[in-house]
Amino acid sequence: MAAARDARPTNKDARAAIRARALQAGFDAVGFARPAAATAAGERLRQFLAEGRHGDMAWLENRADWRADPTALWPEAKSVIVCALNYGAPEEATDASRGVIATYARGRDYHELLKGKLKFVADYVTGPLSADVKVFTDTAPVLEKPLAAASGLGWQGKHTNLVSRTFGSWLLLGEIFTTLDLEPDAAELDACGTCSRCLDACPTAAFPAPYQLDARRCISYLTIEYDGHIADEFRAAIGNRIFGCDDCLAVCPWNKYAQTAHEAKLHPRAETTAPPLAELAALDDATFRKRFAGTSIKRSGRDRFVRNVLIAIGNSRDPSLLSVARARLDDDSPLVRAMAAWALWRLAPAAYAAERSARLAAEGDAGVRTEWSRADAAGVQATT
């Protein structure tokens, strides 16, 4: 009996071996938590949902019980191994005739990348350590940030994302739930102090209070998740952000410790680095899919993406983009037609006024008709 027990790795050895395996997989940070460590966050999730702050993300509601309580998700799990991948600091801002894509989305789609790495670590747990596992990242019904904070990888900053003392705001998260009983790490303490930079930086005032986000106002939600006509009040503030937003993350003082991603697959691709808006507005479904194959951008679909691009064109004040907006006025997608009309109004109010009545007579979509119903001729006008 004693010999058999001695052959099994000790808890300390198992933790060290898992950590080594995770680093070998390419993760930058690893921590251990109990599944029950994040249940307090579940109550906050319920409040968030009750106030409707999730907008149209019904999938956040669907499995709220599992999401709120990891012990209900898989009662047999004794530990959570939280793995984090650094995706590096963002690049410089670009000129208004080019789009800005959130840093996390500039390289390969992280979902598959993380899943592959998590499975590599999980194989070690199911193999030499003979335990059961379930692997989660992003789309699974898990509150990942509170678990990461409980495992000592960072704390949830006032912008609600995890902040790391070593990597700043730039970590992507994934978890391995396991039946293995692993000693947890100590939770990281909140080090935001009196700072409020992220709250002040938000272009759309999406934080009703520190540590709380109203996703309905967040540019990341509006440009990636939201499938409708983006409300007028947000369009100017969106600027040239065509997919996601990094503003609250980028201003965090803890980014002074940020490091470039060593995972080359996350490095920005040429087609996601300051892409010209004119090129993007001309994409059809096939060319969109081809251009963004293997990236997270492909998931949002062409229509939503070109809708965002037209908002950026409307904000550009670039007269050379007027013909680009015009070319989308007859697009098959109402989302695109609507924002083409808005862009025309912004860049050339007189041209918009000249087209209005003919367009209204021909347009069947209520959302697009609204865009052709402006009485004022203010726009922002292209500058020459």
Where in the sequence numbering do the catalytic residues fall? 138
Q: What would the x/- binding string for ligand B12 be over residues 36 to 55, using CB under 6 A?
A: -----x--xx--x-------
The CA radius of gyration of the chain, in Å to the nearest whole number, is 23
Which residues between 209 and 268 bind ligand B12 (CB under 6 A)? 211-213, 215, 218, 220-221, 224-225, 244-246, 248-249
Count Cβ atoms below 10 Å from residue 299 Cβ, excluding itself: 12
Rounded to a whole number of angstroms, the minimum distance from the CB of residue 249 to ligand SF4 is: 7
Residue 33 interacting entry, from ligand B12, ligand SF4, none, C-beta within 5 to 8 Å by type? none
- Under a CB-based contact definition with an 8 Å cutoff, are residues 325 and 347 in contact? yes
Specify the amino acid at residue 292: F
206: its two tokens: 């999406």
| Selected range binding ligand SF4 among 181-189, 190-198, 339-347, 373-381, rule: CB under 6 A | 190-198
Under rule CB under 6 A, residue 204 binds ligand SF4: yes
136 bridge partner residues: 175
Specify the amino acid at residue 182: L
CA distances from 248 to 18, 160, 170, 219, 356 (A): 33, 10, 12, 11, 38
Which stretch of DSSP H or E encloses residue 84? strand 79-86
| Selected range binding ligand SF4 among 1-9, 156-164, 303-311, 332-340, rule: CB under 6 A | 156-164
Rounded to a whole number of angstroms, the minimum distance from the CB of residue 175 to ligand B12 is: 9
37: its two tokens: 């460590």
Residue 197 interacting entry, from ligand SF4, ligand B12, none, C-beta within 5 to 8 Å by type? ligand SF4
Residue 142 interacting entry, from ligand SF4, ligand B12, none, C-beta within 5 to 8 Å by type? ligand B12
Residue nearest to ligand SF4 (CB): 157
What is the end-to-end Cα distance of the chain in Å, rounded?
A: 85
Rounded to a whole number of angstroms, the minimum distance from the CB of residue 219 to ligand B12 is: 7
What residues contact 162, with CB distance under 8 A and at least 6 apart? 84, 145, 148, 149, 153, 154, 155, 156, 169, 171, 173
- Under a CB-based contact definition with an 8 Å cutoff, are residues 114 and 137 in contact? yes
Which residues between 80 and 99 bind ligand B12 (CB under 6 A)? none
> How many residues lie near ligand SF4 (CB under 6 A)?
25
Residue 145 interacting entry, from ligand B12, ligand SF4, none, C-beta within 5 to 8 Å by type? ligand B12
Residue nearest to ligand B12 (CB): 244
Q: What would the x/- binding string for ligand SF4 be over residues 205 to 224, using CB under 6 A?
A: -x------x----xxx----
Which stretch of DSSP H or E encloses residue 85? strand 79-86
Residue among 357, 356, 336, 334 at smallest CA distance from 345: 356
| Selected range binding ligand SF4 among 193-201, 281-289, 348-356, 375-383, rule: CB under 6 A | 193-201
Which of 196, 260, 320, 373 touches ligand SF4 (CB under 6 A)? 196
Buried residues in 88-124 as b, exposed as e (16+ CB within 10 A): bbbeeeeebbbbbbbbbbbbbbbeebbbebbeebbeb
State how far the Cα of 383 lies from the Cα of 200, in Å rounded to an integer.
29
Of the pair 29, 347, the CB lying nearest ligand SF4 is at: 29
Residue 312 interacting entry, from ligand B12, ligand SF4, none, C-beta within 5 to 8 Å by type? none
**Footprint on this chain of ligand B12 (rule: CB under 6 A):** 41, 44-45, 48, 57, 60, 102, 104, 137-138, 142-146, 156, 159-162, 171-173, 190, 211-213, 215, 218, 220-221, 224-225, 244-246, 248-249
**Footprint on this chain of ligand SF4 (rule: CB under 6 A):** 157-159, 163, 192, 195-198, 201-204, 206, 213, 218-220, 245, 247-248, 251-254
